[in-house]
Structure 1
Amino acid sequence: MNHKQTFGRLGEQRATEHLLECGWQILERNWRCKEGEADIIALDPEAQALVVVEVKTRAGTGYGSPLETITYAKARRLRSLAAIYARQSRTSYPRLRVDAIGILWPKGGGSELIHARGIEER
């Protein structure tokens, strides 16, 4: 695993810890199907929603904030993955949603986490 992948995994772990602290249930990490991959699939009990969470981790903002890298097309694709997961798991969820978690983790410093809820939902 290269440095970029290791850094990304650390970000996903930090995001998972954040979601657990919020009382969410983590269903899958790095879930894959032929249509793509979801970083985290979780249940938000308060919203009664199945949520696909995209995690972006950056060491700085030289190329913009972590969340700026998520395009409209990417959000739509993630929404599609939520629907595929719901069908495959044969479970009914009142809502499907896509959230994004951006983590800034500069070298030698603590992390800053931003959780954007509902970047794509139905």
Structure 2
Amino acid sequence: MQRPLRSNRTASGRAAEDTAAAHLQGTGVSVIERNWRCKTGELDLIAKEGDVLVFVEVRSRTAPSRYGTAVEAVTPRKCRQVRETAGVYLKMTGAYGSPVRFDVIAVTFAADGSVAELRHIPGAF
């Protein structure tokens, strides 16, 4: 049984989310939820910029990757799932009707684990 691959993926995902949260906070955006889950899925980061709720999908890759870039990992199917889950969040928190935005933060790690690139795409979908 090979568990190390999963724990490496989990650690890489956590590092990418930490990096993304720090980036957002550095730009004055407040992170209000991390890894919010319900039956439809998970929202990596939920933030607030002024009166706008920002739902952030975080993706990561290690360079070079044979699986494409982190941005390319945000598929139409994933966008639909994030929108649906955001709808559940809005309903459950009573924030339905609030202005919202969907961002992507793509983090590429170098082989040594350092951040090689961070790409923030506001209003990505």
The TM-score with structure 2 as length reference comes to 0.86
Alpha-carbon distance, 1:87 to partner? 1.4
In the TM superposition, what is the alpha-carbon distance from 1:110 to its structure 2 partner?
3.3
Say if 2:58 is the partner of 1:55: yes
% identity of equivalent residues: 36
**Is there any run of 5+ residues in structure 2 with no aligned partner, and where?**
1-5
Structure 1 residue 30 corresponds to structure 2 residue 40: no
- Report the equivalent of 1:88: 92
Using the TM superposition, give the Cα deviation of residue 94 of structure 1 relative to its aligned residue in structure 2, in angstroms: 3.5
Greater mean alpha carbon deviation, residues 22-31 or residues 73-82: 73-82
Contact residue 79 and residue 96 of structure 1 kept, 8 A: no
What whole-Å deviation, never above 9, does each CA across 1:9-45 have from its counterpart, x for those lacking one?
0110000000101111111101000110011111122
Aligned residues between the structures: 118
Tell me which moved more, 109-118 or 63-72: 109-118
Question: Normalized against structure 1, the TM-score is what?
Answer: 0.87
| Cα RMSD (Å) | 1.6
Partners of 2:53 and 2:94 lie apart in 1 by 13
Stretches of 4+ aligned residues off by more than 3 angstroms = none
1:4 and 1:99 mapped to 2: Cα distance?
Answer: 22
Residue deviations 1:59-114 (CA, integer Å, cap 9, x gap): 11322110101111211221122221111111355422211110011122631100
